[in-house]
Amino acid sequence: MSRTPADMDLINGCINNDRRAQELLYKQYHGPMTSICLRYTRNEHDAIEVLHNGFLKVYKNIQQYDGTKASLYTWIRTIMINSAIDFIRQRDRQKQHIEIDKAAEPQIDSEVIQKLNADELLKLVRKLPPATQAVFNLYVIEGFNHKEIGSIMGISEGTSKWHLSESRRLLQKLLQTLYVVR
């Protein structure tokens, strides 16, 4: 992964606490990072909180960025996802200790999904409980496996599988309700 001269200027400026560089970095990555934060939170207010906490971590740790390991976008994205997980942990103090090795995976009718737009799907995902929503996002959207999700969220692999199964069950129920209403 190579860093562009523009990225280097932004990184060096942020390392030196240059407000202009920090503002430019924020403006450059605000949109895509907001989208990520929205996927992990229940509302826009929480998403903005996660976004701002994430950017504070970016500014605080920018000197640790290594362009040989990941692009700047990927590095910031990882921080945002971890900030969202931290936020969920803080809000969801009552951990569920459910172990299911082989969770049944309900099927969601693809015909119903095709009738929905991205905003409608996001609204449905936001209705999931926070930990279930996070596992769904990490598995379905981000592409992590259950072992990685367990490590990220501090849960077992079986609990991750349960949350994914539960997210699919709840989404199926929500979609069926939506489909009947339409």
Domains in the chain, ordered, with CATH? 5-91 (1.10.1740.10), 110-181 (1.10.10.10)
- Asked if residues 164 and 121 have their Cβ atoms less than 8 Å apart, the reply is no
Q: What residues contact residue 129 under an 8 Å CB cut-off, 6+ apart?
A: 92, 166
- Which of 179, 38, 54, 25 is closest to 112 using CA atoms? 179
What are the pLDDT tens digits along the chain (182 aa)?
Answer: 556 778 888 999 999 999 999 999 999 999 999 999 999 998 899 999 999 999 999 999 999 999 899 999 999 999 999 999 999 888 765 444 444 444 444 455 455 455 566 777 788 888 899 899 999 999 988 899 999 999 888 899 999 999 999 998 998 888 877 765 54
Distance in angstroms (rounded) separating the CA atoms of residues 164 and 154: 15
83-102 burial, b at 16+ Cβ within 10 Å, e below that, comes to bbbebbeeebeeeeeeeeee
- Which of 152, 92, 40 is closest to 49 using CA atoms? 40
- Asked if residues 45 and 129 have their Cβ atoms less than 8 Å apart, the reply is no
Alpha-carbon Rg for the chain in angstroms:
18
At residue 94, the pLDDT reads 41
At residue 100, the pLDDT reads 44
Distance in angstroms (rounded) separating the CA atoms of residues 9 and 141: 31
At residue 4, the pLDDT reads 75
pTM confidence score: 0.66
At residue 98, the pLDDT reads 42
Please give the C-alpha separations between residue 134 and each of 8, 37, 167, in angstroms, as whole numbers: 32, 11, 10
At residue 3, the pLDDT reads 67
